[in-house]
């Protein structure tokens, strides 16, 4: 072990990590009064750290690599095997450009527009429904939206099953037992499905339009000029589809925030687009989604007198950094106006990771998330009125990922 670091004496913290969830790192940061400490997780020494400076170090590609970091349980549910999340160097940057080229501002607008259209369609159904569950509606709508946008054929009868599989993949990585295995089966089904679609595009059985995510993934050329094999192309196309559906989680938390902080909702009713944006930023800062991100030390280095030995796994606490009291005044208060003073740093507000997405592993989908959320928030605030029936809106910080238990039920929905 690293003598200069406080370390957790437990034989292994894997269970504590699952039990304490989002607060695992923060609890120990408080206990050791140190933003960096060492623990044993899944039989390995792991350095855990949080904060803006820690994020800056973590996103230095000279210091860290991803190869060999993501455990099987994560690759076989959330990411897919050998996907972009596990790549390094030039090969990573080359593949990342493909993702960036699919998630441009104009494509963000297109996705937002489709999202708006689908919420309006849903409203016709909702007006006659006794109650709806927002999370369920959002995951189905976003699955429909993303497939339409990407050029992936999807029959109406398939929507719910495909949506459930995307959600299962996302909700499996931090779980043990049935929920975890459900995620693995969901991934297998999705990969079979998307491999078939890619094959059909490559053989000309299915027409695909240049510029769509489907076409660009199917015909993407690696630096050596070869195409991705069908499996890899499917994994990476799923890496575009699934996380857009993941916005269902933030949408549910946004609705919860509208309910929990009524005065903020009232401000939005007459507010500007900037107010909407600040509210969404605060939802992404305040509520738990991505807990932490992992990488391996690439070469020995020393930082703040701590030694980082080649091959050591390091966790950067995203949730903890977003609640770091040195960065956020009263971090456990929901206050969108705090973003009026935000300095825009690439390392202090990191629900999607840190750094420049084109140069490292930060999420390329932050712009899409913002635009899809904005379209949705406008709809929830300005287009409809609704009641919130009695339900269990609690969410647990010791499950990763988490969600309000009821999924946010709404009733008596009517147009404004």
Site track 207-246 with ligand HEM (rule: CB under 6 A), x = hit: --------------------------------xx--xx-x
Tell me if residue 59 falls in helix, strand or coil.
coil
Q: Which residues pair with 316 in a beta bridge?
A: 49, 293
Residue 361 interacts with ligand HEM (CB under 6 A): yes or no: yes
- Which is closer to ligand HEM, CB of 240 or CB of 413? 240
Q: Please give the Cα distance from 200 to 175 (Å, whole number).
A: 35
Q: State the nearest-atom distance from the C-beta of 205 to ligand HEM, in Å.
A: 26
Residue 48 φ/ψ, nearest 5 degrees: -110, 140
Tokens of 52: 């803006």
Q: State the nearest-atom distance from the C-beta of 58 to ligand HEM, in Å.
A: 8
Are the CB atoms for 164 and 136 separated by under 8 Å?
no
**Given the DSSP bridges, would you call strands 131-133 and 36-41 parallel, antiparallel or unpaired?**
unpaired
Q: Please give the Cα distance from 169 to 190 (Å, whole number).
A: 9
**Given the DSSP bridges, would you call strands 44-49 and 36-41 parallel, antiparallel or unpaired?**
antiparallel
Q: What is the DSSP string of 350-414?
A: -BTBSS-TTTSSS-TTHHHHHHHHHHHHHIIIIIEEEE--S------TTSSS---TT--EEEEEE
Residue 74 interacts with ligand HEM (CB under 6 A): yes or no: no
CA nearest neighbour of 403 among 296, 251, 242, 263: 251
Q: Please give the Cα distance from 332 to 326 (Å, whole number).
A: 13
- Which is closer to ligand HEM, CB of 122 or CB of 244? 244
Residue 298 interacts with ligand HEM (CB under 6 A): yes or no: no
> Quick check: bond before 19 cis, omega within 30?
no
Residues 246-275 interacting with ligand HEM (rule: CB under 6 A) = 246-247, 250
Q: State the nearest-atom distance from the C-beta of 244 to ligand HEM, in Å.
A: 5
Measured from each CB, the residue nearest to ligand HEM is: 365
Residues 11-70 interacting with ligand HEM (rule: CB under 6 A) = none
Q: Please give the Cα distance from 412 to 416 (Å, whole number).
A: 12
Residues 273-292 interacting with ligand HEM (rule: CB under 6 A) = 289-290
174, 353, 401, 404: residue in contact with ligand HEM (rule CB under 6 A):
353
363, 377, 400, 403: residue in contact with ligand HEM (rule CB under 6 A):
363
Residue 313 interacts with ligand HEM (CB under 6 A): yes or no: no
Q: What is the DSSP string of 205-235?
A: SS---TTSHHHHHHT-B-TTSPBPPHHHHHH
Of the candidate spans 123-131, 155-163, 190-198, 363-371, the one that interacts with ligand HEM by CB under 6 A turns out to be 363-371
Q: State the nearest-atom distance from the C-beta of 346 to ligand HEM, in Å.
A: 12
- Which is closer to ligand HEM, CB of 84 or CB of 400? 84
Q: Looking up tokens 């006659």, which residue turns up?
A: 128
Q: Looking up tokens 């931090």, which residue turns up?
A: 174
- Which is closer to ligand HEM, CB of 208 or CB of 249? 249
Residue 351 interacts with ligand HEM (CB under 6 A): yes or no: yes
Residues 87-146 interacting with ligand HEM (rule: CB under 6 A) = 96, 99, 103
Q: State the nearest-atom distance from the C-beta of 107 to ligand HEM, in Å.
A: 9
Of the candidate spans 194-202, 272-280, 358-366, 400-408, the one that interacts with ligand HEM by CB under 6 A turns out to be 358-366
Q: Please give the Cα distance from 201 to 219 (Å, whole number).
A: 9
Distance of CA 220 to the CA centre of its chain: 24
Tell me if residue 299 falls in helix, strand or coil.
coil
- Which is closer to ligand HEM, CB of 258 or CB of 370? 370
Q: State the nearest-atom distance from the C-beta of 366 to ligand HEM, in Å.
A: 7
CA nearest neighbour of 252 among 290, 291, 281, 283: 283
Residues 137-196 interacting with ligand HEM (rule: CB under 6 A) = none
Give me the residues that bind ligand HEM (CB under 6 A), please.
84-85, 96, 99, 103, 239-240, 243-244, 246-247, 250, 289-290, 293, 351-353, 361-365, 368-369
């Amino acid at each position: 072990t690293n003598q200069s670091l406080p370390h957790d004496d437990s034989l292994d913290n894997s269970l504590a990590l699952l039990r304490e969830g989002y607060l695992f790192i923060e609890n120990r940061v408080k206990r050791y009064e140190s933003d960096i400490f060492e623990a044993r997780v899944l039989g390995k020494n792991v350095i855990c750290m949080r904060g803006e400076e820690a994020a800056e170090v973590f996103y230095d590609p000279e210091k860290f690599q991803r190869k060999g970091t993501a455990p099987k349980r994560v690759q076989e549910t959330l990411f897919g095997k050998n996907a972009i999340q596990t790549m390094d160097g030039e090969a990573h940057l080359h593949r990342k450009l493909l993702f960036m080229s699919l998630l441009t501002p104009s494509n963000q607008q297109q996705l937002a527009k489709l999202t708006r259209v689908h919420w309006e369609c849903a409203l016709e159904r909702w007006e006659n429904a006794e109650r709806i569950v927002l999370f369920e509606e959002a995951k189905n709508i976003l699955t429909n939206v993303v497939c339409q946008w990407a050029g992936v054929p999807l029959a109406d009868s398939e929507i719910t099953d495909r949506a459930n599989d995307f959600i299962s993949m996302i909700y499996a990585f931090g779980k043990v037992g049935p929920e975890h295995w459900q995620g693995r089966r969901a991934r297998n089904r999705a990969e079979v499905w998307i491999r078939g679609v890619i094959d059909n595009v490559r053989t000309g059985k299915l027409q695909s339009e240049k510029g769509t995510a489907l076409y660009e993934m199917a015909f993407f050329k690696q630096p050596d000029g070869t195409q991705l094999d069908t499996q890899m192309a499917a994994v990476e196309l799923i890496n575009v589809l699934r996380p857009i559906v993941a916005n269902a989680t933030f949408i549910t938390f946004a609705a919860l925030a509208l309910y929990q902080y009524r005065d903020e909702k009232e401000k939005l009713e007459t507010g500007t687009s900037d107010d909407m944006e600040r509210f969404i930023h605060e939802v992404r800062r305040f509520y738990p989604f991505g807990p932490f991100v992992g990488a391996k030390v690439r070469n020995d280095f020393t930082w703040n007198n701590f030694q980082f030995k080649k091959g050591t796994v390091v966790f950067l606490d995203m949730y903890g950094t977003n609640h770091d009291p040195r960065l956020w005044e009263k971090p456990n208060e929901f206050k969108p106006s705090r973003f009026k003073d935000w300095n825009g740093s690439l390392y202090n507000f990191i629900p999607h990771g840190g750094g420049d997405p084109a140069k490292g592993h930060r999420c390329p989908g932050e712009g899409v998330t913002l635009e899809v959320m904005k379209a949705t928030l406008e709809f929830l605030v300005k287009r409809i009125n609704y009641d919130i029936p009695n339900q269990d809106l609690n969410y647990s910080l010791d499950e990763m990922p988490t969600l309000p238990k009821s999924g946010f039920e709404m009733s008596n929905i009517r147009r404004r």
